[in-house]
Amino acid sequence: MQYRMRRIMAIAMGFFLIMVLLWVQFVRPEFFGDLPQRLELMAFDIRMRAVGGIAAEATPNEAAVKVVIVDIDERSLTEHGRWPWSRAKVAVLVERLIQAGAAVVAFDVMFSEPEINPALEVAAFFEKKGDGSPALVAELTRFKERFDRDRMFAEVLSGKEVLLGYTFQPREPQRIGMLPQPLVVTNHQVLHQSSLPAMRGYTANLPIFVQSALGSGFFSLIPDLDGVVRRAPLVARYNDQLFSSLALETLRHFLLADSVRLHTSQINGLETVEAVELSGFASIPTDADGQMIVPYLGATGSFPYISASAVLAGTVPVSQMEGAIVLVGTTAPGLFDLRSTPVQSVYPGVEIQANLIDAILGKRFLVQPAWGQGADFVVMVVVGLALALALPFFAPMWQMLWTLVVAAALVLGNLALWKQGLVLSLAMPLILTALLATCNLAYGFLVESRSRRQLKGMFGQYVPPQIVQEMSENPQKYSFEGETRELSVLFADIRGFTTLSEALTAADLKKLLNRYFTPMTQIIFETRGTIDKYVGDMIMAFWGAPVPDEHHAVQAIEAALRMLKETERLQRDFSNEGLPRIAIGIGINTGLMNVGDMGSEFRRAYTVLGDAVNLGSRLEGTTKYYGVGLVVGETTRAAAGEAFVFRELDLVRVKGKVQAIRVYEPVCRSSEADEALQQELADYHRFLADFRARHWEEARAGFSRLREFAPDLRLYGIYLERIAALAADDPGEGWDGVYERKEK
């Protein structure tokens, strides 16, 4: 029964996720903004880069048409000066292209401003200044037609297969230049209530050029919401008249198509555009805005590029131009015709036009069909149900395998349709697949890992989460039974706690202790320590169990040094808040200890016991006497190796012990010790050796010098006091240098 309920819950969770993703995909709630669209656009770009446009279905003759780009590049600007060039030079460029055999020449640049006539400019200059005779001014004026470069360019355009480009503005009402004659649309009545967006303004060419050229087409591009050009309009509506894009107009003249027909359908009272048909050639699928998906062939350079300077120099072989559709554009960065596309972040606008022309000639169309949303809905429902109903019955490994199979089928099926020219959603079905798999794996983990949760319940309060995780990966290795193991134990106590507690209310004392215990516990956890207990103001922790750690002594000392630094920070915070100052003493000892789950049938705890533990507590008690924050035993010193710099504090016999031990202060990590500290410690240990050898004068002089260097260090004063007492009453040759510690 319990097994069945788990499966039912997992299936219900899957159904809920399916409903949520369908709601996000098709209702598009404002809460998610444009995130779903952006994800689909990213998936579109990945497919475009991976697969590209679909294969051409054109006839051999159509497929053989070359599309060549004449590039006003950096080389051209260097050799012939900055753009715009003189119309006389552009006229030479046109003549050279026609002479080379170009079938059609289309300019992806505009000529919207007249070129200054130098004869009239000089005449106006003399007339304004009053210099020169009226005869000179009249003579200059008489030569104005000879220097009218605009007229010269218009004469070259006349009678040649040359088209000009211009732009429409969907928002700005400005009108610059002259529009060409609108397209002849066989079903013109559809424009009155068309889905095509109405343009408000334009920037076009000078009337003299529009009247002389074969035709004109706009090259305006409208990026998607992320600024990437994935579609290009083939037609635009202005004053209920239809105008063609540069790519469409170029093909219309190249293919000798007389008219254009819009294929529409009635949707919500609008004539919604579905395709643009060139009479006698092809029906080009578009969206409702008359835009065609650009099936990019690849990154920049998918079409032949010829520098405009090479054309002007007459060095271009006829074979490169003969019968070609030639687009004149620019890749020079300063001329601002670089766009972001799915295949490349910086892409020449003129090559977008080349892709459009080549795709239409080859009938390579990518279409988001009208039934696409319905297909997307069916795919998401089928995929969702296949995963929601199957995954709860599989083991985690099989869940992952089944998810990968479904995801691979989604991707491969989507790419197969892409190659056939159909663009369907991919991002949201894949996200649904990933979410269903993730949720089932997570749910299975939560339900099927009871033993791991029990282990965490036992150790989670006093063992770092990362250690609990290690234990849960192989719980059978760990037992609560007692065992003897070499460990390092730490005792940390707040000094003067009684006085501190008398100065605060119970509530304030609780808050202060919580603020102290929290970062200390965090430090212990971060160094892989185990919290044994909190007793009043004291923390007891150990390293090396339950998970063995051969570096337990190093970890314990590292934790203690960090705890002392953290206490200094807390002191500053407490002082700023008017709270009492706190200081702590820490003792660490290493040795054999009994560790395990100990206690009674009423209360048990995972703890350590033994003589080495008791010594650790005694060491903590010596910190106040020596005026240091941290004292470790000699076994800890030996186990830590050379990881830290130590100062030997004393040879001491603590209360309850017969044998004397050496105690040390870890000063810092070895890598942090500078030369001054190393010299101070070397001097100190030399003077300590003099003290134990009963060389009282040498020891007194040395410790006196050290105290002048570090007057706040209590240790040097202690030895000066001992030297004074021992020098007055020499203990004799049998003295072993041991200090008897009477207090705990």
Peptide bond into 546 cis (omega under 30): yes
Strands (E), 239-380: 241-244, 260-267, 270-278, 282-285, 291-293, 305-307, 325-329, 338-339, 347-348
- What is residue 471's predicted lDDT score, i.e. its pLDDT? 67
* pLDDT tens per residue across span 680-693: 999 999 999 999 98
- What is residue 662's predicted lDDT score, i.e. its pLDDT? 94
- What is residue 189's predicted lDDT score, i.e. its pLDDT? 57
> Which amino acid, residue 6?
R
DSSP symbols for 427-458: HHHHHHHHHHHHHHHHHHHHHH-HHHHHHHHH
Token pair recorded at residue 295:
């099936």
Tell me the three state secondary structure of residue 487.
strand
- What is residue 457's predicted lDDT score, i.e. its pLDDT? 58
Residues in the chain: 744
- What is residue 729's predicted lDDT score, i.e. its pLDDT? 83
Longest dimension (CA), the chain: 132
- Identify whether the C-beta of residue 95 lies closer than 8 Å to the C-beta of residue 156: yes
Q: Which of 301, 319, 254, 315 is nearest to 280 (CA)?
A: 254
- Identify whether the C-beta of residue 372 lies closer than 8 Å to the C-beta of residue 380: no
357/13 Cα distance (integer angstroms): 50
- What is residue 579's predicted lDDT score, i.e. its pLDDT? 85
Token pair recorded at residue 70:
């004449």
Superfamily, domain 484-667: Nucleotide cyclase, GGDEF domain (3.30.70.1230)
DSSP state of 738: P
- What is residue 62's predicted lDDT score, i.e. its pLDDT? 44
Token pair recorded at residue 532:
């044994």
- What is residue 119's predicted lDDT score, i.e. its pLDDT? 63
Global pTM? 0.60
- What is residue 63's predicted lDDT score, i.e. its pLDDT? 46
- What is residue 131's predicted lDDT score, i.e. its pLDDT? 59
Alpha helices in 304-459 (DSSP H): 308-313, 318-321, 349-362, 372-390, 396-419, 427-448, 450-459
Within the chain, which residues score under 70 in pLDDT?
1-3, 54-64, 119-145, 186-192, 447-466, 468-481, 600-603, 656, 741-744
* pLDDT tens per residue across span 250-285: 999 999 888 888 888 887 778 888 899 888 788 899
User: For the domain bounded by 674-737, which CATH number is listed?
Assistant: 1.25.40
- What is residue 658's predicted lDDT score, i.e. its pLDDT? 72
User: Which residues lie across from 292 on neighbouring strands?
Assistant: 232
Q: Domain map of the chain by residue range?
A: 2-53+368-448, 60-362, 484-667, 674-737
Give the contacts of 478 (CB within 8 A, at least 6 positions apart): 455, 471, 546, 547
